[in-house]
Amino acid sequence: YLYISIRKRRSFLMEISKPCVLFCAVCITLLISYISWHPASQLLLGSSDSTIHSEHKTEDRFFYGIMLDAGSTGTRIHIYKFSHTAAGLPHLEHETFKALKPGLSSYAENPGKCAAGVNNLLEIAKKEIPEHLHKSTPIVLKATAGLRLLPGNKAQRLLDEVTELFQGSPFLVEKDRVSIMDGTDEGIFAWITVNFLTGSFANRAIKHAGMLDLGGGSTQITFYPYEKDTFPSAPAGYISAHKLFNRSYTLYSHSYLGLGLMSARLAIMGGEEGTPLKPEEQLVTPCLTPGYVTDFHQAGITYEVKGQESDLPPFELCSQRIAKILDQHNIHKIPEVSKQSFYAFSYYFDRAVDAQLLDPEHGGSLKVKDFQTAAEKDLKKIPGENPFLCMDLAYITSLLEKLGFSKDKDLKLASKINEVETSWALGATFYNMNILNR
């Protein structure tokens, strides 16, 4: 009887234990799977394919855009790292910036040589962007006034060289991503950059700032008019409507081709774009120290220049010459600009630094008349490393006054805002990645 009882009890226990064993096996399997998957456990288990996938998943929170700015005096690469946000506006995590000289237009007679410098910039992008994101990262080159001023076939050959180089790169190359940018777009994209970086798109309490960009071959002005009188007084084509970050804006924007600092210099001295001097020929200008001789290099051409000798005050003669050049371009004077906040950059900033009017690291604010005061002071000096500084400062003064800025108007000058380069490149990157309409 005892033997039979023990056998029954054992049979009963075995029947109960079967589901328990199965349950424990499932739990152990799940635990091992969790440990293998959990990122923290990788420190214990060592690296594996799951580590790589986890890193990719983390890295894919970010996305990148590459913009090359092919200007008249150099080519610059902007590599932007963004992250997604719940608010809709992308967050700019970081910018990598590198510039090289000369500009693409300097290779107009030998376009094959332009590729080497651009390729060096691409190598920077390859190192900066994670390899698994290369094929999804768009790359764009936009050329500005330097190529706009070249004959069409010469400009196109340079663009074809860059296109071929891009197509051999690991990045995403879409149609028409190597092109000459319209001057008005250049101004609008720069305005987008400034107002994105100052926060006015994200915070409606912040008023939009205007933008002044002085390049080598052209200059742009763009702002959001708050006064109704500005619209009917603007010339045809200066006012345009845009949808930016799901809001509508009507902007005043215009680009003046030929009034960039280097093109204006050449015109002030009596030279012509793309036309070399004859042997023994000199350009003569009142905007250099009288009798002083130097060379000016523009788009691969060297011009010999001499300061004009005269009994009249040289600064007065220089200002008269500049006024004649500006009058040829029918500059529209805008009363509202003296009431708005404006950022000025590129050569506006560079020449202010050269004249020791600004700290090169932090920028600052200047009045328009500060440029003129510095120009008059510089003309009295013995020419040094920058013999054209007086001319440039006098030109900037006259240009700003022609646009409608009073001599007492304060301008904010900066090469960077929040550690990001002030240029059209960021705004153009948003446009080419179709972010503006999101």
The residues that are catalytic are 186
Q: Is 216 annotated as a binding residue?
A: yes
Q: Is 310 annotated as a binding residue?
A: no
CA distance 314 to 379: 8
Residue 24, phi then psi, degrees to nearest 5: -65, -40
User: Is there a contact between 345 and 426 (Cβ–Cβ < 8 Å)?
Assistant: no
Identify which of 133, 152, 164, 125 has the alpha carbon closest to the alpha carbon of residue 62. Answer: 133
- 301, with CB counted inside 10 A (0-12, 13-18, 19+), is middle
Identify which of 359, 381, 269 has the alpha carbon closest to the alpha carbon of residue 317. Answer: 269
CA distance 79 to 65: 6
Q: Is 220 annotated as a binding residue?
A: yes
Helix (H, G, I), strand (E, B) or coil at 284: strand
Q: Residues near 34 by Cβ (< 8 Å), separated by ≥ 6? A: none
Which residue carries 């022609």 as its tokens? 402
Amino acid at 171: F
CA distance 368 to 406: 7
Identify which of 246, 289, 247, 296 has the alpha carbon closest to the alpha carbon of residue 270. Answer: 296
User: Is there a contact between 218 and 73 (Cβ–Cβ < 8 Å)?
Assistant: no
User: Is there a contact between 284 and 304 (Cβ–Cβ < 8 Å)?
Assistant: no
Helix (H, G, I), strand (E, B) or coil at 190: helix
Residue 376, phi then psi, degrees to nearest 5: -65, -40
Which residue carries 């340079």 as its tokens? 158
Q: Going by DSSP bridges, is the β-strand pair 62-70/75-83 parallel, antiparallel, or unpaired?
A: antiparallel
User: Is there a contact between 135 and 168 (Cβ–Cβ < 8 Å)?
Assistant: no
CA distance 78 to 67: 5
User: Is there a contact between 316 and 310 (Cβ–Cβ < 8 Å)?
Assistant: no
Instruction: Give the annotated binding-site residues for ATP.
Output: 216-220
Binding site: what residues are annotated? Answer: 216-220
